[in-house]
Amino acid sequence: MNAARHLFGASLLFFTLSGHSFANEYEVVVYGGTSAAVTAAVQAKRMGKSVIIVCPDRHLGGLSSGGLGWTDTGKKAVIGGLAREFYHRVWQHYDKPEAWRWQTRESYGGKGQGTNAVDGAQRTMWIFEPHVAEAAFEGMIRDHEIPVHRDEWLDRASGVKKDGARITSIKMLSGKTYSGRMFIDATYEGDLMAAVGVDYHVGREATSTYDEEWNGVQTGVLHHGHHFGAVNKKISPYVVPGDPSSGVLPRISPDPPGEYGAADDKVQAYCFRMCLTNHAENRVPFAKPAGYDPGQYELLVRIFDAGWRETFHKFDPIPNHKTDTNNHGPMSTDNIGFNYDYPEASYERRREIIKEHEAYQKGWLYFIANDPRVPKDVQDEMRTWGLAQDEFQDNGNWPHQLYIREARRMIGEFVLTENELLKRRATPNSIGMGSYTMDSHNVQRYITPEGYVQNEGDIGVSTHGPYEIAYGSIVPKKGQCDNLLVPVCLSSSHIAFGSIRMEPVFMILGHSAAAAAALAIDNGTSVQDVAYAKLREQLLKDGQVLEATGLDLGGRLGRDPSKLEGIVIDDANATTTGPWTSSTSSKTWIGRSYRHDGDQRDGKSSAKFETKLPKSGSYEVRLGYTPNNNRASNVAVEVHHAGGQSKVIVNQKLPPPIDDSFVSLGKYEFDTNKPAVVSISNQDADGYVVVDAVQWFPVK
């Protein structure tokens, strides 16, 4: 028995020859092959637990090794623990001369390289080739002697055995069974979580569900340029332009999009993050895919005819003359509207969806490179590109992982919402941090009431700095499952998940989930009852970053609102409705950014600054904004005070006279028992409306 325990990483192995099946018993069973699965397994092993990875995947690392080499990091200073160790391993690879096969290190430059320590002990590389990431993950597993059972698919119908609220074992379609004391669902889909029977959600919640601004249907919100407002002309969705009776072009939904802010059961678009190259020696030309239909791209022809020329704007350069190619523009690599049933679909149906996405995306490439209707300048450039011959060599040089941007999301002990990410509310029991923009890709392509095509769902809202992630967001509600942690399909709203869903964060949460699992084993508790003080102590010892205090977060900072006189409410703490875009383009501002309405002039964008003043009396109320000639000269501002409401018109073209930041809205009496409120609207504005801060300055 001792030899068997040593051979299988301190596991117990039980054979049943008659049934041609066997059971493995480990202290921690990790289901999934994502980056979070790897960090979870490594952390469990470092804490002395027997652990195994069981996954449907053949390749470890998920999207981090599946083409997403242009890492969406946000503030790198908050990425610690095993996540930072992974990026250090990547740096170690590129520190070797032989890593630079197709170009010199000097020609690539210093892109993506961190400089945490002069001696190289914590140096990081955030941009990398897919095979380099996979090798780093495999190295982490190999160094810790962690067994990995690949191509094992959970029996989602009857494969989970429970004793009360505890999972005792999970069975695969192959018949293999894995017993454990703790289980971690590290899949993008949340299949184990769903099979266990814990609460979860698919789709977008309404804004009213969690008192959010950016959730639900986002008609009229045009953020990234991935919409038809970015095209010079309005484009007809009909086969015969302007004639609804002629039928609708492919890949446009004839259904209404829903009301702004309403809930739906749709999910943001998926795509493959392709690794392309224009290095002739390593380039595989784009082949015509099976079943290719140029008619699927008729809408793209109209986009080109309207003058759009941004096809190559997200061919982000990674080392060795390769790219991480991402979606960009009104009709790009995102396969909008063809993934709604993926989260809950059978394995067979998911394979169909994946194949459809592959066919669409390969067809998109072939169409641009070969169809005579494509503008010559675009076509000539596309023909210089191809698949990288030395990537994904067992899959025809095509990524092995579809970008599942969002699927199921658990409804756990604590639900993270935009309110926590924007620091409107405190987050309890931090187990790591995120900082990337709250980012959703498009959800649907529809026909506007005026008869034009439009994309909906694409959104990017700054979190105004790093935010904490609650331990309660990775554990089920008490009583639903006592020994399951979910670091990927965690408990959050749709819009909050838009930031949390970044690969470094998944690695951070996988690490923290395993630490909690080990402590639950050591103390004989459920995951819900893990002592946070002990978990925090362990995570800090492991190098996890749990709060931003004292960190050098980089970037440009405006004036610190806490150091200004009076009571100052920054735009990050305002309650807003409608579309607002964060910016730092001006020379100075207050806080981490300011916001503008995108020159919409439609009355749909408003901001409310509210505070409780420390004592009753007279205050001068001041509005903070950044001036420019494109600003509105007639911004409507309402001051709510003890005597009622006063309306003030502000000309934001003019420089603010008070400290180059504020303009006075007048002096008013306030009652400390009533909230002090200033509201701004873009109704009938004649230019951009900007909100930055409001100051209540006591008058003596």
Mean pLDDT within 57-62: 98
| Count of CB atoms situated within 10 Å of the CB of 287 | 13
Q: What is the pLDDT of residue 700?
A: 76
Whether 538 contacts 63, CB under 8 Å: no
Nearest alpha carbon to residue 513 among 172, 35, 24: 35
Q: What is the pTM of this model?
A: 0.80
Residue with tokens 């979580």: 193
Which residue type is seen at 86? F
Number of residues written out for the chain = 700
Can you tell me whether residue 315 is helix, strand or coil? Answer: strand
Query: Between residues 546 and 10, which one has the greater pLDDT?
Result: 546
| Percent of the chain residues topping a pLDDT of 90 | 83
Here the tokens at position 311 are 């096809």
CA atoms within 13 A on the CB side of 19: 10
Q: How far is CA 141 from CA 38, 41, 42, 51, 572, in A?
A: 7, 8, 7, 11, 41
Here the tokens at position 402 are 């579809």
Burial 510-540 (b: 16+ CB within 10 A, else e): bbbbbbbbbbbbeeeebbbebebeebbebbe
For domain 2-202+471-539, the CATH class is alpha beta
**DSSP designation for 157:** T
CATH 2.60.120.260 boundaries in the chain = 561-698
Q: What is the pLDDT of residue 309?
A: 95
49-53, 429-433, 592-596: segment of lowest average pLDDT: 592-596
Separation CA 421–CA 494 (nearest Å):
12
Q: pLDDT band for position 128 (50/70/90)?
A: very high
Q: pLDDT band for position 273 (50/70/90)?
A: very high
Q: What is the pLDDT of residue 21?
A: 45
Here the tokens at position 446 are 């529809």
**β-strand pairing of 676-681 with 635-641:** antiparallel
- 373's enclosing H/E stretch is none
Q: What is the pLDDT of residue 250?
A: 98
Asked if pLDDT for residue 660 goes beyond 90, the answer is no
CATH 3.50.50.60 boundaries in the chain = 2-202+471-539
Q: What is the pLDDT of residue 4?
A: 34
Asked if pLDDT for residue 555 goes beyond 70, the answer is no
- 650's enclosing H/E stretch is strand 644-650
**Tens digit of each residue's pLDDT (9 = 90 or more) over 107-122:** 998 777 764 444 456 7
**Tens digit of each residue's pLDDT (9 = 90 or more) over 614-658:** 999 999 999 999 998 889 999 999 999 999 999 999 999 998 988
**DSSP designation for 32:** -
Q: What is the pLDDT of residue 591?
A: 86
Q: What is the pLDDT of residue 65?
A: 98
**Tens digit of each residue's pLDDT (9 = 90 or more) over 312-370:** 999 999 999 999 999 999 999 999 999 999 999 999 999 999 999 999 999 999 999 99
- Note every long-range contact of 541-544, with CB atoms under 8 Å and residues 24 or more positions apart, other chains counting: 542/43, 542/46, 542/80, 542/81, 542/82, 542/511, 542/515, 543/80, 543/81, 543/84, 544/80, 544/81, 544/431, 544/432, 544/508, 544/511, 544/512
Separation CA 57–CA 49 (nearest Å):
23
Strand ranges in 104-209 using DSSP code E only, listed in sequence order: 148-149, 160-163, 166-171, 177-185, 200-201
Mean pLDDT within 658-671: 92
Can you tell me whether residue 679 is helix, strand or coil? Answer: strand
DSSP string covering 443-481, please?
-EEEE-TTS-EEEE--EEE--SS-EEEEGGGGSPPTTT-
Strand ranges in 444-579 using DSSP code E only, listed in sequence order: 444-447, 453-456, 459-461, 467-470, 484-485, 567-570, 575-577
Separation CA 81–CA 538 (nearest Å):
11
Whether 341 contacts 353, CB under 8 Å: yes
CA atoms within 13 A on the CB side of 279: 19
Query: Between residues 7 and 130, which one has the greater pLDDT?
Result: 130
Can you tell me whether residue 264 is helix, strand or coil? Answer: strand
Q: What is the pLDDT of residue 228?
A: 87
Q: What is the pLDDT of residue 117?
A: 43
Q: What is the pLDDT of residue 11?
A: 41
Q: What is the pLDDT of residue 587?
A: 74
Q: pLDDT band for position 390 (50/70/90)?
A: very high
For the sheet containing 567-570, what is the strand order?
567-570, 693-698, 617-624, 662-670
**Tens digit of each residue's pLDDT (9 = 90 or more) over 450-481:** 999 999 999 988 888 899 999 999 999 999 99
Contacts of 201 (CB under 8 A, 6+ apart): 408, 409, 411
**Tens digit of each residue's pLDDT (9 = 90 or more) over 241-261:** 999 999 999 999 999 999 999
Q: How far is CA 280 from CA 285, 302, 389, in A?
A: 9, 31, 10
Whether 213 contacts 207, CB under 8 Å: yes
Contacts of 277 (CB under 8 A, 6+ apart): 102, 283, 320, 321, 322, 323, 385, 386, 387, 388, 389
Here the tokens at position 670 are 């306030």
Q: pLDDT band for position 226 (50/70/90)?
A: confident
Here the tokens at position 416 are 């993270």
Asked if pLDDT for residue 553 goes beyond 90, the answer is no
Asked if pLDDT for residue 405 goes beyond 90, the answer is yes
Nearest alpha carbon to residue 13 among 178, 251, 255: 178
Nearest alpha carbon to residue 336 among 440, 199, 205: 440
Q: What is the pLDDT of residue 557?
A: 60
What is Dmax (Cα atoms) for the chain?
Answer: 90
Q: Cα 528 to chain center, whole Å? A: 26
Separation CA 201–CA 271 (nearest Å):
22
How confident is the prediction for the chain on average, in pLDDT?
92
Asked if pLDDT for residue 504 goes beyond 50, the answer is yes
Between the two ends of the chain, the Cα-to-Cα distance in Å is: 83
Q: What is the pLDDT of residue 120?
A: 57
For domain 561-698, the CATH class is mainly beta
Burial 353-391 (b: 16+ CB within 10 A, else e): bbeebbbbbbbbbbbbbeeeebbeebbebbeebbbbebb
